[in-house]
Amino acid sequence: MESRKKVIVGFEVFLLVSFSVAFAYLIYQENKSVLLPYVDEGKFIGKTRAVILDHLGKNLVSAQEAMNTCTVDINGRFCQEYIASECEEKCDVANEGRCLPSRAEETSLCKLGTCITGDGLSCNPNTPKLRCDDIGGTWDERGAGEIPQCQKGCCFIGSENNFVTSAQCNSLSSSSGIILDGENNRFDPGIRSELQCLLLANPSSEGACVLSSNIPEENDCQFTIKSSCNTLGGDFYEGKLCSNSEINTICEKQSTTGIVDGKDEIYWFDSCGNKENIYEGGSGVARQRSWNNGSILSKAESCILGDERNPLKNQASCGNCNYLDGTKAGLAQSGDTKNSDGGNYVCRDIRCSYTDQFGKRVTRENGEAWCSYESQIGTEGEGNEQRGLDVPGSSHYKNVCLNGEVRIEQCASGRQQICSESRDEEIGFSSAACRPNQWARCFALNQEGSDLSRCEDITDCTLRNIDLTKGGNDNFKFSLCVPKYPPGFDLKPDLDVFGQISGEVRSDAEIACGLASLKCTEVSVGGLGGTKRTNDLCHDKVFTETLNNLCMSLGDCGGGANIVGEYTDDGYSVNFEDIDLQQNYISALRKVARAVEGQRGEPLSADEIASFYNVNTGSADYKPEDAQLALIGTVGGLAGITLAYAVQAGWISGAGSVAGGAESIAAGAAEFAGPEAADAFLAEHAGPGLGAYAGAAAGALIGAATVSLLLKYTGVGAGLSKEIQYALIAGGAIAGAIAGWSLVGGTGAFAAGFSWVPVVGWVLGILVIGFIGLGWLLGWGKKKEKEVVFTCKPWVPPSGGADCGKCGDNGLPCNEYKCESLGTACEFLNEGTDAEICVAVEDKDAGPPIIKSDRDPLTEGFDYTQESNLGFNVIGNTSDGCLPAYTPVKFGIEITEAGQCKYDIVQGKDFETMSYDFGGNLFRMNHVMSVFMPALSALQEEGINQDVRADFNLFVRCKDRAGNANEVDYNVRFCVSPEDDLTPPIISRFSPANGGFTAFGATERNVNFFVNEPSDCRWDSQDVDYDVMLNEVNCEQSAGSTTLLGYRCEVNVPVNSDLEENKYYLRCKDQPYLEISNPDGKTRNKNTQSVEYILKKSNELKIVSISPGNDETITTGNVEYVGIELSVQTEGGAEGARRVCEYDSANNGLFDEFFETGGDIHKQNMNLIFRDYEIPIKCVDDAGNKAEGISKFTIDIDNIGPIITRFYKQDNELKVITHENSVCAFSNLGRDFEFVNGTLMNGNEIAHSTSFENSFTYYVKCKDGFENIGGSVVIREGFF
């Protein structure tokens, strides 16, 4: 028995010694927050131990030696075993310790498991359950490796790595103050080995990566970073060069010198092509110092290139270039001192010295960028004198100093991009960028309902305030938001690509410039105190200059000079020669063509940078001056009463006034029933008790009305001041009151006292009427109108090609836009080659264009007669062949080469002095124009006899690009018949179209339509006669307000949203001028049948999808801007209506229309930077239905090349596996090969292969879909 015990004890000692390392892991260290991992003893050892001890221990157990378990002993330890006789003594009974009559492993309280605290902050293995409960932990019978919160990974914190749990990693992050960002600082549960985790620490440290070979003395080596070496499977020697003799590689030191992409310095390279230390000279001592015993020598410890006075002092012997000090390694050039080892690279001065466009010698720092301009830019002046300065043909340019060379980058042609520059004067450094010109946003703000006060919130916009008022009734005054940097237009547009507008082909430039084509009506009215004038500044040179300034601000429009100062005036016209642009104004325009020092384009705001953008130019509505009632109090009694009513009823007439060119007469619209009506009223209501006073009051009203009607219908009132009008009406009122007194029959003593009154009343009345009659004979109140029309057209280059060779003379590159601005005959050749040139095209015939009639545009129902080389007649379908009144007629001419055409009504004028363009001022082969002639009766004021046929002659001449113009007029003839107008107006062209839609839930709708002649129009909800209709329509009526569609009418109609259809009935009555003057007693024609106009109810407009959206993340490569397509889908709204969507890329309230829109799919290409985006979107259809949404997404960048995770050889093929889809290429010549020069491997996903030759070394690189190229991997036989 005793010997058996000794054997057992001996075996236990053997086990303790043999497995002390394993048992050490079982020791619980209570003061440690992080435990080393528990390692179980092997199954074999455990089983062997159990079998042997069981065998040796048989028959040894006795009652005296039975083992009990003390839950807590007197030393505070848990679940300790003692022999039964000692257990009670050893237990801490005072603290709930007690003896249990069993072994610890057989006691549930002492069962071993993992104790978890802090959700994984501590995971203690082999902990008794009782102990875990005591410390407030969570006990789990599984091992720590099986519990999720106890599983360990690699915790990357700063430059330190720890193999810990996720909770422990968070604790380390908190204590270090380094936030886990999921990138450099992160927890990676995929790394399951502590050794692997530790090896990943400081992955970017450089050193020698030794790639072992089967032959020890042929170990290859790659100088790289630790993480790459781990990928390659090599042994990493931090801080060592591959030529270090201690690591036994095939690489020999300092074989050649050269440069490294992304580095400033010149380096030595070993025989394997690995970078070594910075070059310090070719002598033995210098070489040895640079080699630094085979260890890395830092930049700070390397040689010094120069000093402050001479940065290149040691250029021949030092390669320690410093980009920040203005030096960088490059090929030696003339003037450089080559390095003493005969290499081709030296440290070079990378600043730029050059002569600028103003003749000054300038030095710029490397990386500095600045702008160059070909003219003055932006705007100058205030109020009416403000104008845009960028001249036709000019562009903006960005200059960059890059490694000692000035590079010129043209911003987008035609000033579609602006060069903006900012300068830090403290350090003397400029930055510049070509950025988008947001000129389209300026136009958008002029739309109806827009807030013009936001105009100057946009960097590229400025608010133009036009004011040609001097007081009184002058009101040619309005504001327009225009570009600060006017855009350039195509100077030779291909008109085939533009749409038709009213049958005439028009270019973008014609449409944009036409926004500044305006009319102002000067009105003069004769009167007692002389002639009163309204808007007399319109017939003044200031009118032409002001509108030409506005015209120039819209783009390449108006009269202006090109980049060489050549002025042309084809871009504008005004219908009075005496107010043409004057020479001093033109001289100022020529000076604008010279750039000035110090000017800079403004940078965009932060919101605008995130962005990447139908102007209604209707003039201000006329608002007649309120009647001035102050004088009423000076006329007592009855006169005061009647004056107040006269003003209210509109009996007092106002002088003619002009609002933005639209005539508006402040004449009363109320009708007076006349004396008969008054008599009837008195007969019905005047009883015996009425009395003389009531009769006098009624008589006063009749007298005032009679005088006011005479003032109105004779026109004399317009020529008298309001004070005199009031006096005459007061006189009429007094005379009427006296007559009323007499008619009623005053009685009694009061009446007897005033028996003389009737005689005085009649005399006074006769005097008043006589005074009015005298004014009528003298022409008081006769109104004369003078319409002054300014037409803004596209700017036209000078004739011919004399200046073509000047393109690029200013030191800035020539381009097509600039070339074409120098002359109509200039053409840009060899674009995109090294032989670009601007030349004058050859004029093959040296003669002017030949003109002939063109029947294609001729309006149906009309014809040409007497066609010859001298002209033709246009005839209509009337009895005498004349053109019918108020009918648009279109006709055209064709010329043998592209040219401009003009006409005049005066024969014999040369081309340059002709007054009017025939179908626009652009160079075309086909020219079309339309005429819309009023009835002759409407032209009496123009001196045309309405009773005699009127013949019209248009004398036409054309000019080609070379400047050759016709010397003989080409005559287009037509006539207008004197026939009486017996036809009622024709109502047409509704907007919205008849049968169109109203917005969902709308209560009213604005409706426009046209009539073919001046008319008064009305509407009603019932189909009734014109005179019974209740609602008036506002219609244009002046001769100058006609359009190719006729005269515009406008009205707001109510909408009942409960009805599927709302119906309206319209009728018109023509010749409104007969109400003013109708000596022949002609009858106005009115519609006898209504035009039924229908508006339909529409559905709600909805946005059903937006892409990108829903917080989508778009990943792309390492590029400056990312191209995305913003796409929106809509549904609903008005059936068949056009649906237009807009987006606000900067989220600042400024919206731009989608490039592709109009249906239910709306698309816009955008160039965006890397960030989060929220882009508001709004859509509207023709009926006014609206829908809104938002595109919310993130753009992220992938700038890391593919990583080769594995390579192996199979069936004589090299197999390479990458971590992402990619293409791979290899070279056998060295690791620094260009990817495009490598041999492509098979495969374009993650698996790649190529045939493998044992004798070759394979240098493999891979490239992903974003053009990111990963590091080079070296593979050779023996690495597998």
pLDDT in tens, 126-184: 888 888 988 888 999 888 888 988 999 999 887 778 899 999 999 888 887 888 888 77
DSSP assignment string, 98-116? -EESS-GGG-GGG-EEEEE
pLDDT at 774: 52
Residue with the bigger pLDDT between 492 and 53: it is 492
Separation between Cα atoms, residue 3 and residue 255, nearest integer Å: 77
Task: Give residue 946's pLDDT.
Answer: 59
**Amino acid 1223: pLDDT:** 96
Residue 999: what pLDDT?
92
Indicate whether 307 pLDDT > 80. yes
Alpha helices in 477-568 (DSSP H): 508-513, 541-553
Report CA dihedral (171, 175, 181, 185) to the nearest 10 degrees: -90
Give Cα separations from 863 to 62, 882, 890, 960, 974 (angstroms): 138, 11, 11, 28, 11
- Look at residue 1236 and give its three-state secondary structure: helix
Q: How far apart are CA 942 and CA 936, in angstroms?
A: 10
- The winner for highest mean pLDDT among 264-278, 522-536, 718-732 is 264-278
pLDDT, mean over the chain = 78
Considering the domain boundaries, does residue 12 fall inside one? yes
The yes-or-no verdict on residue 758 having pLDDT over 90 is no
- Cα–Cα nearest to 1048, from 1007, 1088, 1089: 1007
**Phi and psi at residue 189, in whole multiples of 5°?**
-75, -10
The mean pLDDT of 688-692, rounded to a whole number, is: 32
Nearest in space to 1243 (alpha carbons), one of 1267, 1226, 1257, 1258:
1226
C-alpha span between 446 and 460 (Å, rounded):
15
Residue 775 pLDDT class (50, 70, 90 cuts): low
Question: What pLDDT does residue 177 have?
Answer: 81
Whether 329 is covered by a domain: the verdict is no
Question: CA-based angle 389:395:396, to the nearest 5?
Answer: 90
- Where among 1166, 1197, 1228 does a domain terminate? 1197
Stated as kind and residue range, the H or E segment containing 1007 is: strand 1004-1011
Helix (H, G, I), strand (E, B) or coil at 167: helix
d(CA 543, CA 540): 6
- CATH number of the domain within which 1182 lies: 2.60.40.650
Look up residue 539 and give its two tokens.
């017939």
Local confidence band at 767 (pLDDT 50, 70, 90 cut-offs): low
Distance of alpha carbon 275 from alpha carbon 271, whole angstroms: 10
- Alpha-carbon separation of residue 826 from 558, 559, 833, 897, 1277 (angstroms): 21, 20, 18, 16, 67
How far, in Å, are 271, 297, 527 from residue 247 at the CA level?
A: 15, 18, 114
Residue with tokens 């919101």: 607
Nearest to 838, CA basis, from 846, 854, 827, 852: 827
Residue 770: per-residue pLDDT: 56
Amino acid 903: pLDDT: 93
Q: What is the pLDDT of residue 494?
A: 55
Q: Which of 280-284, 701-705, 944-948, 1076-1080 has the least mean pLDDT?
A: 701-705
The verdict on residue 809 lying in a domain is no
Number of domains in the chain: 7
Cα 196 to chain center, whole Å? 51
Give yes or no for a contact between 1195 and 1117, defined as CB atoms under 8 angstroms apart.
Answer: no
Average pLDDT over residues 662-680: 27
Tokens (6 digits) for 548? 């030409």
* Domain extent for 1166: 1101-1197
Say if 713 falls within a structural domain. yes
Do residues 860 and 713 share a domain? Answer: no
Statement to judge: residues 1175 and 1210 lie in one domain:
no
Q: Would you state the pLDDT for residue 26?
A: 30
The rounded Cα 413 to chain-centroid distance in angstroms is 18
Q: 1225 and 1189 in one domain?
A: no
Domain for residue 1072, yes or no?
Answer: yes
Fill in the DSSP letter of residue 626.
Answer: P
Q: Please give the sequence-ordered ranges of beta strands (E in DSSP) within 1055-1202, or none if there are none.
A: 1061-1070, 1091-1096, 1101-1107, 1112-1116, 1122-1132, 1139-1143, 1152-1153, 1161-1168, 1172-1181, 1186-1197
Task: Mean pLDDT check: name the lowest of 292-306, 425-439, 511-525, 778-792.
Answer: 778-792
Segment among 379-383, 508-512, 761-765 with least mean pLDDT = 761-765
Is the separation of the CB atoms in 846 and 963 below 8 Å? no
Say if CB 384 and CB 542 are below 8 A apart.
yes
Which CATH number is 969's domain given? 2.60.40
User: Mind listing the pLDDT tens digit for each residue in 505-521?
Assistant: 567 788 888 888 888 88
Name the residue with tokens 């004067």: 425
Asked if the model's pLDDT at residue 639 lies above 70, the reply is no
pLDDT of residue 271: 92
Instruction: Say how far apart CA 599 and CA 593 lie, in whole Å.
Output: 14
Task: Please say whether the dihedral angle defined by the alpha carbons of residues 283, 289, 295 and 300, taken in this order, is positive or negative.
Answer: negative
Task: Please tell me whether residues 1212 and 1157 are part of one structural domain.
Answer: no
Bond from prior residue into 311 cis (ω within 30 degrees of 0): no
Of 111-125, 211-225, 262-276, 1193-1207, the poorest mean pLDDT is in 211-225
Place of tokens 């809509």: 1130
Residue 314: what residue type? Answer: N
Mean pLDDT (whole number) for 874-902: 88
* Sheet architecture: strand order including 1152-1153: 1112-1116, 1186-1197, 1172-1181, 1139-1143, 1152-1153
Q: For residue 377, which amino acid is it?
A: I
The mean pLDDT value for 1023-1038 works out to 93
Residue 303 lies in a domain: no
Query: In terms of domains, do 1160 and 1222 share one?
Result: no
Task: Tell me which residue has tokens 């003390």.
Answer: 70
Instruction: Decide which of 1179, 1197, 1215 is a domain's last residue.
Output: 1197
Cα three-residue angle 1054-1057-1058, rounded to 5 degrees: 125
Distance, CA of 750 to CA of 1164 (rounded, Å): 89
Q: Whole-angstrom Cα distance, residue 166 to residue 1148?
A: 43
Residues 6+ apart with CB under 8 A from 313: 305, 306, 307
Domain match, 914 and 1016 both: no
- 749 is written with which tokens? 């003593």
Is 1248 a residue whose pLDDT tops 90? yes
Structure tokens at 113: 């498991």
Kindly report the length of the chain: 1280
Angle between helix 757-778 and 722-744 (nearest 10): 150
Last residue of a domain, one of 437, 471, 492: 437
- Where is pLDDT greater, at 675 or 817? 817
Helix (H, G, I), strand (E, B) or coil at 51: helix
Residues 885 and 959 in one domain: yes
In this structure, what token pair is assigned to residue 1066? 């319209």
Confidence at residue 669, expressed as pLDDT on a 0 to 100 scale: 23
pLDDT at residue number 628 = 25
697 belongs to a structural domain: yes
User: Do 136 and 9 share a structural domain?
Assistant: yes
In angstroms, the CA 125 to CA 141 distance is 9
897 phi, psi to nearest 5 deg: -150, 160
Q: Evaluate whether residue 875 is within a structural domain.
A: yes
Q: What is the pLDDT of residue 527?
A: 59
Angle at 70 between CA 65 and CA 74, to 5 degrees: 115
Q: Are residues 1172 and 1213 in the same domain?
A: no
Same domain, 901 and 1020: no
Which residue, among 1037, 1070, 1064, 1042, has the nearest Cα to 1051 in the 3D structure?
1064
Residues 108 and 186 occupy one common structural domain = yes
Q: 24 and 159 share a domain? A: yes
Pairing of strands 1161-1168, 1172-1181: unpaired
List the structure tokens of 861.
């129902």
